[in-house]
Chains A and B, each alone.
Chain A
Amino acid sequence: MNLQLFIPELCLIACAIVVILLDLVIQRKGLLAIVSIAGLVVSAGFTIAMWGGNSQAIFNNMLAVDNFALFFKLLFLGIAALVILASTDYVSKFTRFQGEYYALILLSTLGMMLMAATTELISLYVALELTSISLYVLVGFLKDPKSSEASLKYLLLGAIASAVLLYGMALIFGFTGKTQLGEIAQVIQTMSLSGILDSPGLILGIVLLVAGFGFKIAAVPFQMWVPDVYEGAPTPVTAYLSVASKAAGFAIILRVFYSAFGLPQWLSLDWGLVFAVLAAIGMTVGNVTALPQTNIKRMLGYSSIAQAGYLMVGLAAVGLSPVTDAVGRSAVLFFLASYALTNLGAFTAIIAISNKVNSDLIEDYSGMGKRAPLLALGLTLCLISLIGMPPAAGFIAKFYIFSGAVQHGLLWLVIIAVLNSVISAYYYLRVVKVMWLGKPVSEEKVPSSGALRLALSVSCLGVLLLGIIPGFVMKLAEAAAKIFGF
């Protein structure tokens, strides 16, 4: 086995340990963030060095090192770095456990990297739990009643989801006798159609997998935890949850459903349609419920449910024609990258504003354009991107995913999605309107730290770059998606 291929993950483990130990001895806690980011950068460096090579397997075929995994690893590392950058102010208010905070973020990032790489059900479960458990703790980090309640809810519902997932895996294992995704696919393809239909265990197992992963990506009807947890968690953790956890969920769905259940055609058509229906319901529920929200974190929670719906449009397109699909997979990857930058940017602005204003109510954003022009400008750009308007990344991302779906005959779904985008403009623009046209609550300026400004500028620059010259990231996404093929 070639342990070199595992160096990015090892870097993160080492970095997490160093951070915890350093926390014990140093007084200037700001250093912890720098060390964490350094660890992420080194890990990213090794990851980039592996890009473009042939697919390889490590740990007895449990993990794959391929472009798909590397794409997501880079995405997670980038997200973690931005979240840590955006956390520094927030965390410096904690009296204790600052080291643990950073270490937990690093460890959950590690879990997600493993999720993206795993090709086997048992390691998949372990990676998922590593991610989840770190996140349960992070959500409860504030230890005030709201945060603790959110954490407990997340833990209990997450446990239910894990149980459902395990049950699904058990059924699939029982049916095929394999845990390797590739081997599962081989067994399924050798079976006759009637053989599968006669014992419904396999289909039941697949549905349970959809439910278990659906919890991670906040697909309706497994989204109930989202608003409560988003509202209660520390805002940087909300940002992290909303993008990284979701991206990891999609990574694993793409990998599992492609590698194990991509063929025969009728099977993929089945799960494709399930995702199509979930997408339609998810977008509609998310957008319509976001309309009356008054708390911006809650609003973005519902918005993230809707965005998961748009992403599932891409999954549906993949499922409808896994063999000929040229656009669907890479569109999902591109959308995730664009959504990550956009949502991180939005949350960074929210963190900066709530640091000062101590409120997440949309009405308190009134006149923010005068009090904090740069933050308001950044937030406006990100909201425009979430609507899917040019010149922001969200426009290209939506266009990419929708045109893939149209090409696979999902016109009805795309029309629903477009109608939803129209609805969503209303609540996103309401925030924009309040910020620029509202009367300031007070004349006092809202200052922000250099780290926050850096995180916001990087996100916004990314949103603009992906929106204006999307070619580069699109090529990366296409290269990453190429590893699946029949």
Chain B
Amino acid sequence: MPSQLIWLIFLLPVSSFVIVSFFIRPFVKPESRVAGYITITAISGSLALSLWALAAVMAAPHHQIVVPDISWLVVGDVTIHLGLIMDSLTAVMLVVVTIVSLMVQIYSQGYMHGDPGYHRYYAWMSLFTASMLGVVMADSLLLVFVFWEGVGLCSYLLIGFWFHKPSAANAAKKAFIVTRFGDFGFLAAILLLFAHTRTFDIAELHGLAIAGALAGTTLTWAAIGIFSGAVGKSAQFPLHVWLPDAMEGPTPVSALIHAATMVAAGVFLVARTFPLFAHSVEALTTVAIIGGVTAIFAASMGLVMTDIKRVLAYSTISQLGYMMLGLGVGGVAIGIFHLFNHAFFKALLFLGAGSVNHATGTFDMREMGGLRKFMPWTYATFLIGALSIAGIWPLSGFWSKDEILLHSQTGGPSILFYLAMITVFMTAFYMFRVIFMTFGGEYRGGGSGAHGHPHESSSVMVTPMVVLAVLAVVSGFWNVTGQFGAFMGHGETHSFVHGLFHPFTQTLPWISLILAGLGILLAYAIYSKKWLSAERIGSMFKPLYTLFIRKYWMDELYEGVLVKNALIGGFFAGLQQVDTYGVDGAVNGVANGAIAGGRAIRRAQTGQLQFYGLFIGIGILAIILCVYFFG
């Protein structure tokens, strides 16, 4: 097949967005499922092409296909191309994004059925997927940024999908604003790189970094700027606050955001520009430290949440921390392999949470319980996801986590290794806390929207979960032979059987398996057998418990102190004052105090004009003084 067909991977979801939003939505009743069929068809097409592209890249020399690009803009001596990179990183990401997106779209046929915004939902989902595919494929930082913003915008629209709920609207706003802080760093880094190299092309930048032409503080600052963009998008500490709130969107959207798009974009960006990081020790260490800290920090909050989606949200942040840690200490293959495995089991867990919510009408685990009997499929698939994220052999999470642990032992500050090991224990504990609270014990009646006994979700929702469960079991096998690492550019291959049982000859996997087992056991003791009382433990560690449940007061810090007091109370209020009173009423106010009624207004009117004139005079004077003193 000609390589130009690769463009279609991106163009198919774009066209389904156009068709749904401009032709289906205005003319077809919302009850019709046609928008879903169009989107699913388009993304299936993208998936098929992505699989083909993956095969082609694997077969190609140096694992790279060259696709002809289009010259778009000529600015002075700089030409901007519209082009795409087709290497092993892109190929893997394409498959991840399209598989997860396809599963989510199919699942949504059931989950979003009957929602009045059904068409709008599919239009934005198409655009969301397309933007993410754009990020993955773009060959210049400028284009990456364009799609990066597209991803941000779509997530804003989808998190705020049920905009009549104030919490959803606020969550959307929060996500948008918080990630923009990081985006600014990213943009500054792009400009800095452009100022120094006159190019946006990623391959050229790699070449310059490898050749040493791009080095020193410039490179470090550029890399840190890029990383700050990734911190925002991938919800790393301290910009993680938006992700737990982002679950206000429909649950399939959360699945997509948490697994394959949006948050994966940050990790991907660091991987994409990895040569820049690799040549700056400071930047790489920053990535590792932020990743390691985020992993344990988020996991600690996951321990105490009672909302099933919030637990999953913190687990995502924690796992993203692992990925960053993996990139920082081990390189692209290690970080991306975890992203690859995580995508499947995290999408699975979120779809499972949606399925549970569909049955019980709540996300609060205290109102669930005993669902194993009613929802066997959901239970089985959720269990697989939980075992996988906990890192139990031979599920996929085990393989990628094991590598991250292994590399953090040798690379980076040693404290990170211990943090990562503790996180293993925490992860297993909070995931099985979810399992026992949700599926174990007796049914506790569900939420206010629940009716009678919960029942298993329809097959259109269960099927994607089963597919993802299979992937969550097998996706890790790709690197059992070392082939994933080899495909990504380093590592050696060996036989499958050797790879499969090799971990048992080492100490580290044993320790991590024992830690995970202890976590599961503790959750079993507290939440299933009730040998230990959760309340007693909570009160024993009261300060810690409060710290975790209040999320380290970071929301209060940001919203209360920074936004409310400093910005809204101070800066913006001041501006508002200047606008309404300073200008209109500088004189107005004085006059109102002295003289009442119409005379005051009249004086204010004339006074205001004098004020303007005076301002012009002062302005001229200021410029003259500046020119004389500094010119």
Contact assessment for B622 and A418 in the assembled complex, using a CB-CB cutoff below 8 Å: no
Across the interface, B575 reaches (CB within 8 A) one of A207, A288, A396, A411, namely: A288
Across the interface, B583 reaches (CB within 8 A) one of A221, A224, A326, namely: A224
A441 contacts B by Cβ under 8 Å = no
Q: Given A211-B620, A422-B184, A437-B160, verify A406-B631 contact (CB < 8 Å).
A: no
B26 contacts A by Cβ under 8 Å = yes
Contacts of A411 on B, CB cut-off 8 Å?
191-192, 195
Query: Contacting chain B: which of A73-81, A153-161, A176-184?
Result: A153-161
Q: How far apart sit A121 and B318, CA to CA, in the bound complex (Å)?
A: 67
Contacts of A418 on B, CB cut-off 8 Å?
184, 187-188, 191
Closest to B630 in A: A273
Across the interface, B26 reaches (CB within 8 A) one of A225, A270, A373, A437, namely: A373
Across the interface, B623 reaches (CB within 8 A) one of A274, A400, A422, namely: A274
Q: How far apart sit A153 and B607, CA to CA, in the bound complex (Å)?
A: 11
Across the interface, A422 reaches (CB within 8 A) one of B183, B611, B622, namely: B183
Majority SS at the chain B contact face: helix
Contacts of B624 on A, CB cut-off 8 Å?
204, 207
Nearest-Cβ distance from residue A357 to partner chain B, whole angstroms: 22
Query: Contacting chain A: which of B72-80, B309-317, B447-455?
Result: B72-80
Q: How far apart sit A277 and B26, CA to CA, in the bound complex (Å)?
A: 48
Q: How far apart sit A294 and B513, CA to CA, in the bound complex (Å)?
A: 59
A110 contacts B by Cβ under 8 Å = no
Q: Given A160-B616, A207-B620, A211-B620, verify A270-B627 contact (CB < 8 Å).
A: yes
Closest to B161 in A: A437
Q: Given A270-B627, A326-B77, verify A221-B194 contact (CB < 8 Å).
A: no
B619 contacts A by Cβ under 8 Å = yes
A46 contacts B by Cβ under 8 Å = no
Q: Given A200-B628, A224-B583, A270-B631, verify A157-B75 contact (CB < 8 Å).
A: no
Contact assessment for B163 and A208 in the assembled complex, using a CB-CB cutoff below 8 Å: no
Contact assessment for B76 and A415 in the assembled complex, using a CB-CB cutoff below 8 Å: no
A189 contacts B by Cβ under 8 Å = no
Closest to B153 in A: A389
Nearest-Cβ distance from residue A392 to partner chain B, whole angstroms: 12
Nearest-Cβ distance from residue B345 to partner chain A, whole angstroms: 33
A56 contacts B by Cβ under 8 Å = no
Contacts of A471 on B, CB cut-off 8 Å?
73-74
Q: Which chain B residues in 1-56 approach chain A with CB under 8 Å?
A: 26
A89 contacts B by Cβ under 8 Å = no
Q: How far apart sit A200 and B629, CA to CA, in the bound complex (Å)?
A: 12
Nearest-Cβ distance from residue A87 to partner chain B, whole angstroms: 28
Closest to B190 in A: A418
Contacts of A207 on B, CB cut-off 8 Å?
620, 623-624, 627
B626 contacts A by Cβ under 8 Å = yes
Contact assessment for B612 and A161 in the assembled complex, using a CB-CB cutoff below 8 Å: no
Q: How far apart sit A208 and B621, CA to CA, in the bound complex (Å)?
A: 10
Contacts of A156 on B, CB cut-off 8 Å?
609, 613
Across the interface, B616 reaches (CB within 8 A) one of A157, A404, A409, namely: A157
Contact assessment for A149 and B605 in the assembled complex, using a CB-CB cutoff below 8 Å: yes
Total residues of chain A contacting the partner, CB 8 A: 60
Contact assessment for B191 and A406 in the assembled complex, using a CB-CB cutoff below 8 Å: yes
A414 contacts B by Cβ under 8 Å = yes
Q: Which chain A residues in 398-452 approach chain B with CB under 8 Å?
A: 399-400, 402-404, 406-407, 409, 411, 414-415, 418-419, 422, 425-426, 437, 439
Complex interface bits, B135-168 against A, C-beta within 8 A gives 1, otherwise 0: 0000000100010010000000000100110000
Contact assessment for B609 and A153 in the assembled complex, using a CB-CB cutoff below 8 Å: yes
Contact assessment for B612 and A292 in the assembled complex, using a CB-CB cutoff below 8 Å: no
Contact assessment for B188 and A415 in the assembled complex, using a CB-CB cutoff below 8 Å: yes
Q: Which chain B residues in 55-103 approach chain A with CB under 8 Å?
A: 73-78
Contacts of A278 on B, CB cut-off 8 Å?
623
Nearest-Cβ distance from residue A292 to partner chain B, whole angstroms: 5
B555 contacts A by Cβ under 8 Å = no
Nearest-Cβ distance from residue A106 to partner chain B, whole angstroms: 30
Contacts of B578 on A, CB cut-off 8 Å?
289
Nearest-Cβ distance from residue B179 to partner chain A, whole angstroms: 11
Q: Which of A157, A203, A207, A399 is most buried by chain B, counting CB atoms within 10 A of its CB?
A: A207
B532 contacts A by Cβ under 8 Å = no
Across the interface, A157 reaches (CB within 8 A) one of B73, B180, B613, B631, namely: B613
Q: How far apart sit A273 and B26, CA to CA, in the bound complex (Å)?
A: 52
Contact assessment for A224 and B191 in the assembled complex, using a CB-CB cutoff below 8 Å: no
Contacts of A291 on B, CB cut-off 8 Å?
572, 575
Nearest-Cβ distance from residue A219 to partner chain B, whole angstroms: 9
Across the interface, B75 reaches (CB within 8 A) one of A293, A403, A422, namely: A403
Q: How far apart sit A273 and B619, CA to CA, in the bound complex (Å)?
A: 16
Q: How far apart sit A256 and B188, CA to CA, in the bound complex (Å)?
A: 34
The 25 sampled A-B contact pairs (Cβ below 8 Å) are A156-B609, A157-B613, A207-B623, A210-B623, A211-B616, A211-B623, A221-B616, A221-B622, A224-B616, A273-B630, A273-B631, A289-B575, A292-B579, A293-B579, A327-B75, A331-B75, A400-B73, A400-B75, A403-B76, A406-B191, A406-B194, A407-B76, A407-B198, A411-B195, A474-B74
Chain A residues with a Cβ under 8 A of chain B: 149, 152-153, 156-157, 160-161, 164, 200, 203-204, 207-208, 210-211, 215, 220-222, 224-225, 270, 273-274, 277-278, 288-289, 291-293, 326-327, 331, 373, 389-390, 395-396, 399-400, 402-404, 406-407, 409, 411, 414-415, 418-419, 422, 425-426, 437, 439, 470-471, 474
Given contacts A404-B76, A407-B76, A407-B195, 8 further A-B contacts (CB under 8 A): A153-B612, A156-B609, A203-B627, A274-B626, A292-B575, A293-B579, A399-B142, A425-B180
